[in-house]
Amino acid sequence: MEIVRSQRSRTNTPNDSVSTLPLYRYAPQLEVRLEDFEVFAMDRLRVLKGISDALARGKRPEEMENLVRDLWKANMRHPEASEDVNKDIISHFVLRLVYCRTEDLRKWFLSMETALYRYRFLLGSSEAKRALMEEFDLPCKAISRTEFENAKEKLEQVARSFDQPLPTADAIFYKVPFEEVPELVAGRRVYIHKGHAYVAMHQVVSLVVTQFRSNLSKALILTNRKWTSTIREQERDRLTPIVEALSMSYLGPDYSQTKEFGEISIKDLDQLARSSFPLCMRHLFDKLREDHHLKHGGRMQLGLFLKGVGLRMEDALAFWKAEFSQKVGAERFDKEYAYSIRHNYGKEGKRTDYTPYSCQKIISSTPGVGDHHGCPYRHFSEENLRAALGRMGVGSRAMEDVVDKVRNRHYQLACTLTFEAVHSSSCDAGINHPNQYFSDSHKILQPKNNNAA
């Protein structure tokens, strides 16, 4: 960050720093102390990590709003209240440096900063919201009285569909090209006509967030270029070590580098599926054994999981072939399916070594007709879930707890409880990744196996 003492004085911010949302357009022209560089960034990282954990646990939007307010208050206050905004801006830009360097880091940072921005926006006053809308230069226009009258019936239908109060005569609606509000379109939360979405005032956050996300995404790419071409080398002895250390701390293992590589063989799979697979993978595995087939979503989810568990590519090919040939024949397997297994291991095409899916990714997938992937805690009917858990050996008491978690949409907590019931031991960290379930299970069971042997 280039430092020049600025002559321009910043406007004093009110004590409630949440209401002043900066746009993060340009790196600030400020002098920053080296220790603040690191400390500010770590404080903000705590906020982002808190958001990440909460999202993974399936927290509702209202809960998220409160959480963000509390996290921000706890971490982002500066001893001098007037410096709050600077801390906000500085920490954001430092973290851009930290998180611009790989695709995965950028993706995570983008998601968390966007979520943070969304809830801070929602926490602001209507005045603040309106002012920010203007700053953002959004392609939206308030609709006229006539337009409102014409669309009124449809607008009321939309409001009713979400149990929202009906729009009053003086309600403000914005007309926006539909592609500017993909999340509202996806959730059928807006009336769309001839390519324009009619967005209510309280939905305007979607517009702002989409634009924020888009700007930040582009900025991160540029930052990465600058980092690799000049900054990293220039700051070799000062900022670079700090930046590199900051990124290590908060993402957790992604199971793309398998430590137990080669230790799992095909003959172990059936037994391991029974003892150590989380429900989602066990379901896929059982279905594969039963139908000798899985559709694409299932092949990806299970295939990458097995890779993370330590199944070598040659063994994977043999395993899938043994199953699929019973349904489609060995020849067709070689022609149509073997390629994509090699692709998963990075041996074909653009040679990316794909990472096994995390719970967050699996929970958000959309299994359709004939699919068996996705998170069973989310998609199974209660009846089917109980049966599946029973087969796993979950007792009746634990089962009620699990089902209760599912009813409240805490899918990962439900899986954690299942783990605890099946292994008769606690799992404090909570389940965030199927491969984590597997390795934790393996850790518990291995010594027992060794003792038995």
Partner 1 sequence: MLIDGPKQGNVIPDGFNPNYLKVYYGRLFPHADIFKWMSYGNDGRHPACDKSYFGRREFSFTLDNDIYLRFQSFNSESELENSIKEKCPSKIDIGPVYSVDPAKRHAYAQGGDNVFAPVERELIFDIDITDYDDVRYCCSGADVCLECWPLMTVAIKVIDTALRDDFGFDHILWVYSGRRGVHCWVCDGKARRLTNEQRGAIADYFRVYKGNENSNKKVSFPGPLHPFLVRSYTEVLREFFEEKLLLSQNLFSTEERYEKILSMIPDESVTSELRGKWQENRRSSNSKEDINFFRWEQLKNTLQSGKQKVQGLRRCVEEIVFAFTYPRLDMEVSKHRNHLLKAPFCVHPKTGRVCIPIDPKDCEEFDPTTVPTLSELLRELNTGDSRMDVDNEWEKTSLGKSIRFFRSSFLQPLLKSCKEEMESGYKAKIQQTKNSLSW
Contacts to partner 1 by CB under 8 A: 102-103, 154, 157-158, 160-163, 178-179, 182-183, 185-188, 191-196, 221, 224-225, 296, 335, 350, 366-372, 376, 379-381, 383-384
From the CB of 79, what's the least distance to partner 1, in Å?
39
140 annotated as belonging to a binding site for a ligand: no
Q: Which residues pair with 176 in a beta bridge?
A: 197
Distance of CA 206 to the CA centre of its chain: 17
Helix 279-291 × helix 266-276 angle, to 10°? 130
Q: Please say which residue, 310 or 374, places its beta carbon nearer to partner 1.
A: 374
Q: Please say which residue, 368 or 447, places its beta carbon nearer to partner 1.
A: 368
Question: What secondary structure does DSSP assign to 373-413, as a single string?
Answer: -S-HHHHS-HHHHHHHHHHHT--HHHHHHHHHHHHTT-HHH
From the CB of 89, what's the least distance to partner 1, in Å?
26
Q: What distance in Å separates the CA atoms of residue 270 and residue 264, rounded to the nearest whole number?
A: 11
Max CA separation in the chain (angstroms): 81
From the CB of 24, what's the least distance to partner 1, in Å?
21
From the CB of 447, what's the least distance to partner 1, in Å?
35
Sequence letter at residue 341: I
Q: Please say which residue, 181 or 311, places its beta carbon nearer to partner 1.
A: 181
Q: What distance in Å separates the CA atoms of residue 94 and residue 41, rounded to the nearest whole number?
A: 6
From the CB of 157, what's the least distance to partner 1, in Å?
5
3-state secondary structure of 106: helix
Tokens of 176: 């926006």
7 closest CA partner among 31, 36, 41: 31
Coarse DSSP helix, strand, coil percentages of the chain, rounded to the nearest 5 percent: 65, 5, 30
Q: Which residues pair with 264 in a beta bridge?
A: 311
Q: Please say which residue, 103 or 428, places its beta carbon nearer to partner 1.
A: 103
280 annotated as belonging to a binding site for a ligand: yes
From the CB of 384, what's the least distance to partner 1, in Å?
5
Q: Please say which residue, 185 or 445, places its beta carbon nearer to partner 1.
A: 185
Which strands make up the sheet holding 196-200, listed edge to edge?
141-142, 173-177, 196-200, 191-193
From the CB of 426, what's the least distance to partner 1, in Å?
29
Q: Please say which residue, 291 or 440, places its beta carbon nearer to partner 1.
A: 291
CB atoms within 10 A of CB 123: 17
Burial class (CB in 10 A: 0-12, 13-18, 19+), 40: buried
3-state secondary structure of 32: coil
Q: Please say which residue, 230 or 265, places its beta carbon nearer to partner 1.
A: 230
Q: Please say which residue, 14 or 195, places its beta carbon nearer to partner 1.
A: 195
Q: What distance in Å separates the CA atoms of residue 83 and residue 77, rounded to the nearest whole number?
A: 8
100 annotated as belonging to a binding site for a ligand: no
Q: What distance in Å separates the CA atoms of residue 108 and residue 103, rounded to the nearest whole number?
A: 9
Q: What distance in Å separates the CA atoms of residue 379 and residue 99, rounded to the nearest whole number?
A: 34
Q: Please say which residue, 282 or 379, places its beta carbon nearer to partner 1.
A: 379
Q: Which helix (H) or strand (E) holds 415?
A: helix 411-423
Q: Please say which residue, 85 or 300, places its beta carbon nearer to partner 1.
A: 300
Contact 333, 326 (CB under 8 A): no
Q: What distance in Å separates the CA atoms of residue 193 and residue 267, rounded to the nearest whole number?
A: 58
Q: What distance in Å separates the CA atoms of residue 303 and residue 105, rounded to the nearest whole number?
A: 24
From the CB of 181, what's the least distance to partner 1, in Å?
8
427 annotated as belonging to a binding site for a ligand: no
From the CB of 316, what's the least distance to partner 1, in Å?
22
From the CB of 179, what's the least distance to partner 1, in Å?
5
Q: Annotated binding site for [4Fe-4S] cluster: which residue ranges?
A: 280, 359, 375, 415
